């Protein structure tokens, strides 16, 4: 009987020890899990604070080299646009080149072609103009959305009109003399152009008397207004003389062409 009690007591002690060990192990695992969760929360908070600080911090200012490059590019673009306005938009509308998409080599060929036809482009401006056209109207530039307009509504002087309009009663001899005195210094003795002004021979604008008189009277870009030097009849005489010029004629040596 005594032995039975001893065995029972030992069994009870062993069971208690097992239960205590199990509970202690369980509590330890729970404590470790809570600690890991706290560490994870702290890491997330630190990362979130760092992200907020990074977002609130202003971007570093551009370096001096970047600013110089941007200013230089903007300056070159401005000079190119001015050259296009002064030398190309005298005769053409902006859509003439803005609607095209060409390679750098093709734009250079276009500029060379226009100069060979009598357009004026100082050598100092050619590089800027070719670079500007290639940059903004290159082969990879997006095309503008297509538009629709009636031919009669196009603001262009490139469409020939009536070659007899506005020259009734004109004196061709007097027109030639006036041209030599007033116009030849810029447009050449034979109206084939110089470095100062474009060729006028065979130009479509000459068949639009109203447009011609407006340009001569009010001026256009580099061309000054001539209303103080030429009256309406004198302008008409010059117009009649210009309409008789042939662009295919042999250039006058004095014209510099």
Beta carbons of 235 and 224 less than 8 angstroms apart: no
CATH code for the part of the protein at 67-140: 1.10.760
Give dist(CA 115, CA 120) in Å, integer.
6
CB count, 10 Å around CB of 74? 10
Q: How would DSSP label each residue in 196-251?
A: SS---TT-GGGG-HHHHHHHHHH-BTTBPP-TTT--HHHHHHHHHHHHT--TTSPP
In the beta sheet, which residues pair with residue 102?
138
43-68 burial, b if ≥16 CB within 10 A, otherwise e? eeeeeeeeeeeeeeeeeeeeeeeeee
Q: Which one is predicted more confidently, 50 or 111? A: 111
Largest CA distance in the chain: 156
Give dist(CA 235, CA 212) in Å, integer.
9
Burial of 213 (0-12, 13-18, 19+ CB in 10 A): middle
Segment 119-151, tens digit of pLDDT: 778 888 888 888 888 888 888 888 777 777 676
pTM above 0.95, yes or no: no
User: Quick check: 110 pLDDT over 70?
Assistant: yes
Dihedral angle of Cα 221, 222, 228, 229, to the nearest 10 degrees: -140
119-142 burial, b if ≥16 CB within 10 A, otherwise e? bbbeeebbebbbbbbbeebeeeee
| Arithmetic mean of pLDDT over the chain | 74
What does the domain layout of the chain look like in residue ranges? 1-45, 67-140, 172-255
Among 93-102, 154-163, 211-220, 238-247, the range scoring the smallest mean pLDDT is 154-163
CATH 1.10.760.10 holds for 172-255: yes
Segment 20-69, tens digit of pLDDT: 555 556 666 666 667 677 767 777 777 777 777 766 666 566 555 555 57
Q: How far is residue 233 from each of residues 152, 211, 216, 217, measured CA to CA in Å? A: 28, 15, 12, 12
Question: According to the model, what pLDDT value does residue 32 have?
Answer: 66
Q: Select from 85, 224, 111, 93 the least CA-distant residue to 157.
A: 93
Phi, psi of 192 (to 5 degrees): -100, 10
Question: Do 67-140 and 172-255 come out as alike in CATH topology?
Answer: yes
Band (253; pLDDT cuts 50, 70, 90): very low
Give dist(CA 91, CA 110) in Å, integer.
15
CB count, 10 Å around CB of 28? 10
Average of per-residue pLDDT across 222-235: 81
Segment 156-210, tens digit of pLDDT: 666 777 777 777 787 888 888 888 888 888 888 888 878 777 777 888 778 887 7
Band (254; pLDDT cuts 50, 70, 90): very low
Give dist(CA 107, CA 112) in Å, integer.
9
Average of per-residue pLDDT across 214-234: 81
């Amino acid at each position: 009987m005594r032995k039975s009690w001893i065995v029972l007591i030992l069994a009870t002690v062993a069971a208690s020890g097992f239960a205590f060990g199990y509970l202690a192990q369980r509590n330890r695992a729970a404590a470790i899990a809570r600690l890991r969760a706290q560490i994870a929360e702290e890491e997330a908070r630190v990362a979130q604070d760092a992200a907020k600080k990074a977002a609130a911090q202003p971007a570093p200012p551009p370096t001096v080299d970047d600013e110089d490059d941007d200013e230089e590019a903007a300056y070159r673009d401005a000079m190119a646009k001015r050259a296009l306005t002064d030398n190309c938009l005298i005769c053409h509308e902006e859509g003439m080149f803005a609607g095209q998409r060409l390679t750098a080599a093709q734009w250079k060929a276009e500029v060379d072609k226009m100069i060979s036809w009598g357009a004026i482009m100082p050598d100092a401006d050619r590089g800027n103009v070719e670079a500007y056209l290639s940059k903004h109207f290159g082969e990879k530039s997006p095309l503008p959305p297509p538009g629709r307009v009636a031919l009669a509504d196009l603001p262009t002087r490139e469409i020939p009109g009536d070659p007899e309009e506005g020259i009734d009663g004109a004196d061709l001899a007097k027109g030639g003399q006036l041209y030599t005195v007033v116009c030849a210094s810029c447009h050449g003795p034979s109206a084939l152009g110089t470095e100062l002004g474009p060729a006028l021979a065979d130009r479509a604008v000459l068949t639009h008397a109203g447009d011609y008189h407006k340009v001569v009277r009010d001026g256009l870009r580099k061309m000054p207004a001539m209303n103080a030097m030429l009256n309406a009849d004198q302008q008409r005489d010059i117009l009649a003389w210009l309409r008789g010029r042939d662009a295919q004629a042999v250039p006058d040596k004095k014209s510099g062409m």
